[in-house]
Amino acid sequence: MRIEESIGEKRTVSRERKDAGSVLFFLCFIPLLMSLTLRTTVLPYAQSDALWTFNYVLTIVVCVAMTAKVLFLDTYRDTTAKLLIMLMLVLVFCQSAFLVLSWELSTVFALCVGSFGVDLKKIYKVYLVESSAILFVALILSLTGAIPNLPFEKFGRIRYALGTIYCTDFSARVFYLLLLFLLLFHTRLKIPHLLLLAGLSFAVFVPTFGKLDFACSILALILFGMHMYVRSHEDSATAVWWKKAWPKIGLLSMPVASVVMFFLSYFFSPDNRFTSFVDQVITGRLALGKNGFSEFGVTVLGHSVVYRGAYVTENYNFVDCSYLNMLFKEGVIAVLVVIAVYVLIAKKHKDHLPVMYILAMVSLNCMLEHHIIDMAYNPFMLLLLADTGAIFGSGRTVPGEQEKKGPGGSETGHEKMT
């Protein structure tokens, strides 16, 4: 057999394996996302033991399937990388099963690793349509009285959950879907789109009174509005500074945010005027973080933690900050690994400014909310290994946003690794 024929046969086999890997990923991703999303609502059977059991079994199936994808369908340039990934998946699975008794970390890592070589644009479009559809159905049914529209009294007013379990659950879902929409369509955004999304954010804010998510949504829209200005004024001093600053901001945003919340919470004291003022501004989250250090403690590998939140009026101990929530529950190593993943995403996509905006907004939001590893809300860890060529490989680019040869690109992504 000639060398050319041998190479051609290898490419065919690699393409078939890649396609099979993509099919396997979506066969796992679609039902798991539906199950996870339903459990954030009060739709019929959403909180039933049957759905909980289904979600539990499905999570294990997905973890096993994604492990099989890594072993038999994905081709890495370095065999050592595959072995390390397999070891990490097994360790995280064991941690979830025997120490933490929670599957969030296993789910997000299994899907993150399983997304290797899969078209991220397709993943995110499926995520956007599926999540939006479930959320919209829950909203309509709650407004028509078919399912409960749970009320919650705080800040001297009634807030509504709009078909979800808690009012800020709904606003957080809308915030992350807004980020996803902005990332997917960043090259086609116009001012009317941003204004329409701002109106939608305000419409969600009024019944839910989700101040953080509303503020983050508006800030994200401002950032993408500035991005539109940069694209049309490439030679201006503002554009030059903007394009130089954001790769650094994206890289440092999560490490800085996590360290800030750790120290503010650890050294919180009601007698300290500064920490007391900050705690008042962010509605008691520093005090809850401080309580977490004494009630749960910090472990290396994590342990089972029972958080009491939502409508609990006595012994409320829920830690909203993602970094501390993970620290008490998942342990030190898990927190460091998750932050490292976001740093690697920032390094991989340093030439794609929209990703930098997303990372900064997620880092900021996670200072006060707990969705950093919750796939039902936050799918952005998939930016690490999925094929992003369809999102960033076409359309008009600007300096600081060009496609480079690197991970996820058309030349050095999955195609060349096979």
pLDDT greater than 70 at residue 91: yes
* Per-residue model confidence (pLDDT) at position 313: 67
* Per-residue model confidence (pLDDT) at position 407: 39
- For 216, how many CA atoms within 13 A lie in the half-sphere containing its CB? 27
Phi, psi (deg, nearest 5) at residue 69:
-60, -45
Phi, psi (deg, nearest 5) at residue 42:
-110, 30
Name the least confident of 141-150, 231-240, 361-370: 231-240
Alpha carbon dihedral 163, 166, 167, 169, in 10-degree steps, equals -90
Query: Residue 236 corresponds to which tokens in the numbers above?
Result: 């201006």
* Per-residue model confidence (pLDDT) at position 414: 36
* Per-residue model confidence (pLDDT) at position 409: 42
Instruction: Count how many domains the chain has.
Output: 1
Closest CA to 417 of 83, 73, 13, 75: 75
Confidence of residue 418 (pLDDT cuts 50, 70, 90): very low
Residues 355-413 pLDDT 10s: 999 999 999 999 999 999 999 999 999 999 999 999 997 433 333 444 444 433 433 33
Q: Report the percent of the chain where pLDDT is more than 70.
A: 90
Name the least confident of 77-81, 165-169, 359-363: 77-81
- For 187, how many CA atoms within 13 A lie in the half-sphere containing its CB? 13
pLDDT greater than 90 at residue 352: yes
Strand partners, 387: 119
Span 328-351, average pLDDT = 97
Spell out a b/e string for 205-221, using b for 16 or more CB atoms within 10 Å of the CB, else e: bebbbbebbbebbbebb
Please list the helix, strand and coil fractions of the chain in percent, rounded to the nearest 5, in that order: 65, 5, 30
Q: Which domain holds residue 83?
A: 3-417
Confidence of residue 249 (pLDDT cuts 50, 70, 90): very high
pLDDT greater than 50 at residue 331: yes
Which residue did the predictor score with more confidence, 48 or 404?
A: 48
Q: Report the percent of the chain where pLDDT is more than 90.
A: 81
Reduced to 3 states, what is the DSSP secondary structure of residue 161? coil
pLDDT greater than 70 at residue 13: no
* Per-residue model confidence (pLDDT) at position 410: 37
Calpha distance 358→346 (Å, rounded)? 10
Span 143-147, average pLDDT = 96
Residues 113-133 pLDDT 10s: 999 999 999 999 999 999 999
* Per-residue model confidence (pLDDT) at position 184: 97
Which secondary structure element, helix H or strand E, spans residue 325, and what is its range?
helix 322-329
Span 41-68, average pLDDT = 94
